[in-house]
Amino acid sequence: MIFTPANTTLAQYQFAQCLPSDVKHPAIVGGFGSGKTRAIPLRWTSLIYYRGTVQKKKCKLMVVEPTYELIRDVLVPTFNEFFDEHKIKHEYHKTNHNYTIWFRGKPFVCMMRSYDNPASLTGKTVTDIIIDEFDKEKSIQNQRDIWNECLGRLRGCDNTTLGVVTTPEGFRMTHELWVEKAANNPSFKLIRAKTYDNQFLPPDYIQSLYDQYDSQLVKQYIEGDFVNLNNMAAYYEFKRDKHITPCKYQKELPIYVGIDFNVNPMTMVLAHYIDRQIQVFAEYYIANSNTRKAMELLRCDYPNAKIIACPDMTGGSRKTSAEYTDIEIIRQFDIEVRGLYNLAERDRLNIVNNGFDKGRIAIDPSCKYLIRDWEQVVTNEYGQVVKKSNVPLTHISDALGYMAVQLLREKQIGSHF
């Protein structure tokens, strides 16, 4: 190894020190902020030293990212910071995505490529490859294609290496290769990187993650464990004995209303927000309705209440009448609308599950449709909510999700939200 920087974690050091003569396939699997990306330039310097002193060969590295956007926004800035710290001359060529450093007077090139089209990797000849965020690819078959394509590029010398740097995203190919198939194979080495092992993070970063994530996401994104969040209950943190409790309407308090604009059924959930807890006291599950009818019913039941709507924000563009959008109709009933845009479905699920885990959601036992959703809505193999046309699930839990985004969403951390 050329050097061991003072601000190096143990996991980074172990990844960099996997010698090609001993370990052909090193993998560093870790949580957010654990320093995974910074381990890549550190390993590159180690490979340069090994190839030059032991094999009398030149290291030719290729780093493969999910997209060129990640190369631009994450990988290149990390490389720049690393080599600036250690006063190593460097240059990034934006046109061909090659990154060059000069060490001991000699240039060394790292090709930075995207795996969104595995066939585009064909034709390269390198000594070493590192696939970054390997498990971000949702399709196992695509992962296999990427892996096999990379293996075919390794013919620059003896003892070539193909390593992986990734956040765990369920039981994908990293788990298959390093845990299921090669647990006792010395050519495969799995290195765990936990977020709290990185002592160089800002003081409040880890606590912010704990505040934001439920128990399963803590295991995945802080502990760096493999956790299967697919093919399971979408609201896995919901527990009847913990979250169902009498929640009553209090006329002196504002009413928050989560709204899903599906026509059949049209659904709404009503809640108070007390001591940072959503307390759902009523639900509306209306067949063959529309936004205007729903607002008329809501205002009939609560004529003088201050009402704050947290709807599906696509209602700002769609119309259930020839003249007004759904959002405009809501405002016509003297109802405040909170929200600008919708989060991705997975992020909305994470916020709701975190709310359950932290005790920030309670529901009155009379809300039978919402309880049914929380117990019966499931995800598929990609972590997406399964919607079946013949089963009227998901709509009312979506309505609650839009409310949770507005009331429970914490400070954004990293790339998760």
pLDDT class of 2 with cuts at 50, 70, 90: low
What CATH number matches the domain at 10-221, 3.30.980.10, 3.40.50.300, 3.30.43.10, 3.90.1150.10?
A: 3.40.50.300
Q: Are 216 and 379 in contact (CB under 8 A)?
A: no
Q: How far apart are CA 207 and CA 205, in angstroms?
A: 6
Q: Over range 258-279, report the average pLDDT.
A: 94
The rounded Cα 398 to chain-centroid distance in angstroms is: 19
> What DSSP character marks residue 134?
G
Strands 128-132 and 106-114: unpaired
Q: Using alpha carbons only, what angle is made at residue 232 by residues 226 and 234, rounded to the nearest 5 degrees? A: 105
Average pLDDT of the chain, as a whole number: 89
Residue 383 is predicted with a pLDDT of 80
pTM given for the model: 0.71
Q: How far apart are CA 56 and CA 92, in angstroms?
A: 26
Residue 319 is predicted with a pLDDT of 57
Q: Over range 299-307, report the average pLDDT.
A: 96
Q: Are 64 and 113 in contact (CB under 8 A)?
A: yes
Q: Are 135 and 167 in contact (CB under 8 A)?
A: yes
Tokens of 314: 């696509």
Q: Are 44 and 109 in contact (CB under 8 A)?
A: no
pLDDT at 413 over 70: no
Residue 310 is predicted with a pLDDT of 96
User: Where does CATH 3.30.420.280 sit in the chain?
Assistant: 240-408
Tokens of 140: 């196992």
For the CA atoms of the chain, what is the radius of gyration?
Answer: 26
Tokens of 80: 């720049």
User: Where does CATH 3.40.50.300 sit in the chain?
Assistant: 10-221
Q: Using alpha carbons only, what angle is made at residue 22 by residues 17 and 27, rounded to the nearest 5 degrees? A: 60
List, for residues 180-214, the tens digit of each pLDDT value: 887 678 899 999 999 988 888 888 888 888 888 88
Q: Over range 32-51, report the average pLDDT.
A: 94
Domain at 240-408, CATH class: alpha beta
Helix 76-85, helix 39-50: angle, nearest 10: 60
